Structure 1
Amino acid sequence: MTWDEYAVAWSGLHGGFDPRRASPVVRGWVRTAYTTGFWLSRNRVSPMTVTTCGLLICLGVPAAVPLSLLLAAALVLLAAAADGLDGAVAVVSGRVTRTGFVYDSVADRVGEAAWLAAFWLAGAPGWLVTLAGSVSWLHEYVRARAVAAGMSEIGVVTVGERPTRALIAGLGLVLLALIDLPWLPPTLWAALQFAGLAQLSVTVHRALR
């Protein structure tokens, strides 16, 4: 499968969003996933295997906090890399399934809960961590219900998407290794989720009215 063929297939699974016309960062991220996913597919690694490995890495993040915040941050970044690869392997190998789609979504939410638990173990207030997690869950729930009601799959790429959460989780743990401000990462997480939810709500209203 060529890059152009992959981009078309990827676009079809993401509400028509063409990665070839995206920003350099997004385009580079998707193209890297394509290259790595192609290699994994050639070595007969299944999409489910990649998803499961990413989930297990996420679950290791809170366990790593007592040992090293930098190790926990490295695991977040590794899990984020795996997150983009399962879909790439599925597209390249022609193994896109509805079961895999659901499993991937559930794994994402469980993984994010593990990242937030790491903030709590690092000293962040429990109520703040719970708020951050609740708003990000609501972000995904609103999109899922809107899609069920007829909106295209993405609707809009908000400032609160999963890559943003991964970035805050990874860099947030690095920050906590340097300065004692445990409330800061979950506050940034929650703020961007509220902003993303507002963006998404406007799009949903326009798409479904």
Structure 2
Amino acid sequence: MTWDDYAVVWSGLHGGFDPRQASPLVRGWVRGAYRIGSWLARNRVGPLAVTLAGLALCLAVPLAALTGPPGLAAGAILVLLAAAADGLDGAVAVITGRITRTGFVYDSVADRIGEIAWLAAFWVAGVPGWLTVCAGAASWLHEYVRARATAAGMPDIGVVTVGERPTRVAVTITGCVLAALAALIVPTWTVPVLIVAVTVWLTLQLIGLAQLTRAVRAALR
């Protein structure tokens, strides 16, 4: 499959958004996934295997966090690799012609479980449980509203909000890295830095939910 063919199919799966017309960063990310996905497809690696690998990486993050600040730094790397796998399973599915509705469901479920694992890592590192639960609930509600709106007839994703999954990835990685660095300066700063990270996560989810709710009302009115 050529890059242009891949871009057309990818666009159809993402609300008509053409990666060839995107910013250099987004275009580079999608094209990178295409190249790595092509290599995986040539080596007979299926999309489900990539999804499961990404999920395993996510589940390892709270285990790494149990070891303290060094584990948080390792957790940041695990989240980055899991995010890469999240993009690659779809690429492999497109390239191998194995796009299925069940695969879409598996991928979405793996994403939600992975995010729970990231928040669990914050919790075991010292963030209050109520705050991590609120952040997770806001993320879940963000995705649930979009899913129900699509089922109700919304023709596309509605709007790209400030609380999308890439934002959660960025907040998690940044929070883990900054907390690990803070521990080198003042060990007692680790937990406050993580609390700030989860607070930012929650705030962006609530703003994103408001943006999405407005778009859903406009689309279904």
TM tier relative to shorter chain? over 0.9
Q: How many residues in Structure 1 have an aligned counterpart in Structure 2?
A: 209
TM-score under structure 1 length normalisation: 0.97
User: Where do 1:1-209 residues align within 5 Å?
Assistant: 1-67=1-67, 68-179=71-182, 180=189, 181=192, 182-209=194-221
Q: Which amino acid aligns with 1:44?
A: R
Q: Distance in 1 between matches of 2:156 and 2:177?
A: 33
* Cα displacement (A) at 1:152: 2.4
RMSD: 0.9
In the alignment, the residues of structure 1 paired with residue 23 and residue 153 of structure 2 have an alpha-carbon distance, to the nearest angstrom, of 27
How far did 1:38 drift?
A: 0.8
Which residue identity is paired with 2:195?
W
Q: Write the letter of the residue equivalent to 1:126.
A: G
Percent identity of equivalent pairs = 68
Displacement of 1:171: 1.3
Cα deviation digits, residues 157-185 of structure 1 (max 9, x gap): 11111111111111111111122223111
Aligned to 2:185: none
Deviation at 1:66, TM superposition (A): 2.1
Q: Where do 5+ consecutive residues of structure 2 fail to align?
A: 183-188
Unaligned runs of 5+ in 1: none
Which SS does the other structure have where 1:156 is aligned?
coil
Q: Report deviation, 1:202.
A: 1.2
Q: Distance in 2 between matches of 1:145 and 1:161?
A: 16
TM-score, normalised relative to structure 2: 0.92
